[in-house]
Amino acid sequence: MFINWKLREINLKIVYYGPALSGKTTNLQYIHAKTNPNIRGELVSLKTRGDRTLYFDFLQLELGQIAGLKPRFNLYTVPGQSYYVGSRRLVLQGADGIVFVADSQRERFQANVEAVKDMAENLRSLGLNPESMPLVLQCNKQDLPNAVQPSVLQRRLGMTKVTCFPSVAIKGTGVFDTLKAIINLVVAQAQKKL
Ligand SMILES: Nc1nc2c(ncn2[C@@H]2O[C@H](COP(=O)(O)OP(=O)(O)O)[C@@H](O)[C@H]2O)c(=O)[nH]1
Ligand SMILES: [Mg+2]
């Protein structure tokens, strides 16, 4: 959270975290495509040639008011491939909330588990408490025949207390439900601090 009192703006950072290819970039692309250009910035992506996220994707939204301040939500993704651990930690720095985008395909189960572990470790190494971080779980790729039920995934990832949304990000299903839920959590937390 960063407040610019002069401009009366509050900057809040939401990070889309998860294993490689779970659909994090697709979430941001859909949000970008469906929001009014007057309230959002451009989608900035730093990609490799294979269209994979190299550092992060970034999208800014301006919505509503918090205690008389104008909130700017800065949405980031992380690169999921295991060797980008340094970039993931960097992107997590200063996070106010996290959307964990799980890949619901059965064969990606272990990748999800590892990403959850990696997320907790990175948060701790940044001095952030994984338990108190606003978090929403998105069970993406529910359209695929080998997709696991959200409730099963939620339980096996140890996230039974976390709000969970099934999604098909390529069609936009569940994308805004997820975004609204994390925004609500982040705003509630920010209001407590203000
Ligand atoms: N079938 C299906 N494919 C998806 C879905 N969401 C994303 N994808 C595809 O999965 C691949 C990886 O998505 P991307 O957003 O780049 O993943 P990221 O690595 O998490 O940023 C792309 O080919 C997407 O089109 C989904 O809900 N269903
Ligand atoms: Mg990506």
Q: Tell me the pLDDT tens digit for each residue of 44-69.
A: 988 776 667 778 889 999 988 888 88
- Rounded Cα–Cα distance for residues 169 and 175 (Å): 6
The total domain count for the chain is 1
Q: Is residue 47 part of a domain?
A: yes
Q: Is residue 54 part of a domain?
A: yes
Report the percent of the chain where pLDDT is more than 90.
79
- Rounded Cα–Cα distance for residues 134 and 97 (Å): 5
Q: Tell me the pLDDT tens digit for each residue of 105-134.
A: 999 999 999 999 999 999 999 999 999 999
Q: Is residue 1 part of a domain?
A: no
Which residues span the domain enclosing 133? 9-193
Counting ligands in written order, the one closest to the CA of 29 is: 1
For residue 141, how far is its CA from the centre of ligand 1 (angstroms)?
A: 7
Q: Tell me the pLDDT tens digit for each residue of 160-194.
A: 999 999 999 999 999 999 999 999 999 999 988 88
For residue 67, how far is its CA from the centre of ligand 1 (angstroms)?
A: 37
> What is the arithmetic mean of pLDDT over 78-98?
90
Q: What is the pLDDT of residue 126?
A: 95
Q: Is residue 4 part of a domain?
A: no
- Rounded Cα–Cα distance for residues 40 and 20 (Å): 26
Q: Which CATH number is 74's domain given?
A: 3.40.50.300
Tokens describing residue 6: 């002069």
* Polymer length of the chain: 194
Q: What is the pLDDT of residue 49?
A: 67
For residue 111, how far is its CA from the centre of ligand 2 (angstroms)?
A: 15
Q: Is residue 3 part of a domain?
A: no
Instruction: Name the closest-CA residue to atom 18, ligand 1.
Output: 21
